[in-house]
Amino acid sequence: MANERGERDRKGDRDDRDNEFLDKLVHINRVAKVVKGGKRFGFAALVVVGDQKGRVGFGHGKAREVPEAIRKATEGAKRSLVRVPLREGRTLHHDVDGRWGAGRVVLRSAPPGTGIIAGGPMRAVFESLGMQDVVAKSKGSSNPYNMVRATFDALKKQASPRSVAARRGKKVSDILSRRRDMDVAVAE
């Protein structure tokens, strides 16, 4: 009896953990397998999942029914979460490029109030990530799978001043002061 209750409690905890994530369906694709009796249809789903606090992941699932494909994709996305450092919890620390296959993306940090200026699959990634201000441009392939993977490639290159300082063996203030000095030099 107690064991059953314990299992139920753990399942309840899992449901609470699942509720903290925002999942967005990016793309659904109907595929057909031609067999002797005709065509057998299946579905492939691409889903982006994030906690809106700097963690995001994507996954794709394939099944005969749409809900099952979405469920599989969501589970895969939750297993592949990555943490992205955000400046002030709203934008990128620096501009970055990403690519996957023929898909190329350019992500730029933006001042407060800009909003998410991005199209299609990239917008879903930024909303799930919790990013509020960013300007993004996609070049090359418009395939949603390639665009999402190129966006993740760019986000993985993102580095916070703290991690850069640790890597160089310097203080965070030294790195940030150099950045301000460069901003002043560019403005003049």
**Got the DSSP string for 152-165?**
HHHHHT---HHHHH
pLDDT of residue 164: 83
Q: Which of 109, 100, 168, 166 is nearest to 136 (CA)?
A: 109
- Tokens 């940090």 label which residue? 109
Alpha helices in the chain (DSSP H): 2-19, 66-79, 120-129, 144-156, 161-168, 172-187
* Cα gap 45→66, rounded to integer Å: 8
Name all domains of the chain by residue range, CATH numbers in brackets: 2-82 (3.30.160.20), 85-187 (3.30.230.10)
Q: Considering the entire predicted model, what is its pTM?
A: 0.80
pLDDT tens, residue by residue, 132-162: 999 999 999 899 999 999 999 999 998 888 8
Dihedral through CA 32, CA 33, CA 35, CA 37, nearest 10? -30
Considering only residues 93 and 180, tell me which one the structure prediction assigns the higher pLDDT.
93
